[in-house]
A = this chain, B = another copy of it.
Amino acid sequence: MALTNRKFTLAARPVGMPKESDFKLVETPVPAPNAGEMIVKSLYISVDPYMRGRMNDAKSYAAPVEIGGVMVGGVVGEVIESNNAKFKPGDIVQSEFGWQEYALSNGQGVRKVDPSLAPISTAIGILGMPGLTAYFGLLEIGQPKAGETVVISGAAGAVGMAVGQIAKIKGCRVVGIAGTDEKVKYLIDELGFDGAFNYKTTKNYVEELKRLCPKGIDVYFDNVGGAITDAVVPLLNVKGRMSICGQISQYNIEKPEMGPRWLWAMIVKQARVEGFLVFQFFEKFGPAVAEMAGWIKEGKLKYREDIVDGFENLPRAFIGMLQGDNTGKRLVKVADPSK
Contact = CB atoms under 8 A, between A and B. Distances in A.
Contacts of A313: none
Nearest to A272: B274
Nearest to A234: B59
Nearest to A222: B263
B268 A60 contact: yes
Contacts of A266: 244, 273-275
Interface in A265-322: 265-277, 280
A108 to B, nearest CB: 23
**What is the predominant secondary structure among interface residues of chain A facing chain B?**
mixed
Interface in A171-202: none
Interface residues of A, number: 36
Interface string A252-264: 0000111111111
A112 B6 CA distance: 79
A271 B267 contact: no
Contacts of A246: 267
Given A61-B238, A238-B61, A268 B259 contact: no
Given A222-B263, A258-B258, A264-B247, A277 B273 contact: no
Q: Which 4 A-B pairs have the closest CB atoms?
A: A266-B275, A267-B275, A273-B273, A247-B264
